Amino acid sequence: MNKKLAAALSGGAVLVMALTGCSSGGGTKDNKELDAWAKKVCDAVPAQDAKIKAANASIAEVASNTSNPPATIQKTDSQAFQDMSDGYKTLATAISGAGAPPGVDGGSARQKDAVKNLNDLSGAYADLKKKVDALDTKNQAKFATGLHDIATQMTALEAQNKSGTAALKNLEQGDVKDAIAKQPSCQKVAASASATQG
């Protein structure tokens, strides 16, 4: 059962990759304002990307060990959901604080959409944390049922993750994509992602 939860969770880390999995299209256009904007956004990415990936890994790890007692599973999952909620919230705050990408058509609407999606994801993971904290660890059957419900919710969150990814990809079109690709902090995350995928 816990394996289902782990499988459902693996989509979480994909979202941050939307912001970093871009390579520069050789854009040599110099736009200092846009570069400064991209730096604000990218500087928040590595720490949150690491936090979200570590949370995913800890859930997968605790799920793969069938001998873990319910209290261990609850504690690990609770912390992981908290970390994911915090990670998405921090990214939303970074993008919100950076403002609309300067000189980009529709940049303000795209920025607001990305912030809303990240905040929604943060809220969804905070809700899952509350649910896992409320599980009865003394009653194995009730705990398993509760965990099953949480796994079902995680599966439903996949659609929200996809919509968040789409909003981030939409934000990083054209010149924005080039500006993000130039940032060392986003390059670092993209490099670590391609290393783990290869």
Please report the pLDDT score of residue 5 as a whole number. 59
3-17, 70-84, 134-148: which has the minimum mean pLDDT? 3-17
Supply the pLDDT for residue 105: 87
Among 198, 182, 193, 195, which Cα is nearest to 53's? 193
What distance in Å separates the CA atoms of residue 50 and residue 193, rounded to the nearest whole number?
Answer: 11
Q: What local confidence, expressed as pLDDT, does residue 50 receive?
A: 87
Going by C-alpha positions, the residue among 78, 80, 74, 73 that lies closest to residue 57 is 80
Residue 27 pLDDT? 47
Whole-angstrom distance, CA of residue 34 vs CA of residue 186 = 15
Please give the pLDDT value at position 63: 81
Measured distance CA(13)–CA(76) in Å, rounded: 17
Q: Is the pLDDT of residue 124 over 90?
A: yes
Q: What is the pLDDT of residue 52?
A: 87
Residues 6+ apart with CB under 8 A from 16: 45, 48, 49, 52, 53, 87, 91, 189
pLDDT band at 126 (very low <50, low <70, confident <90, very high): very high
- What are the structure tokens assigned to 174, written together? 């054209």
Contacts of 180 (CB under 8 A, 6+ apart): 19, 20, 22, 38, 41, 42, 172, 186
At residue 159 the predicted structure's pLDDT band, cuts being 50, 70 and 90, is: confident
Sequence-ordered list of residues with C-beta below 8 angstroms from that of 33, at least 6 positions apart, any chain: 102, 103
Residues 93, 14, 71: CA angle, nearest 5 degrees: 85
Q: What is the mean pLDDT of residues 79-94?
A: 94
pTM: 0.85
The residue among 91, 94, 97, 88 whose CA lies nearest residue 124 is 88
pLDDT in the model for residue 137: 93
What is the overall mean pLDDT for the chain?
Answer: 83
Structure-block tokens of residue 59 = 């859930």
Q: pLDDT at position 34, please?
A: 92
d(CA 20, CA 29): 19
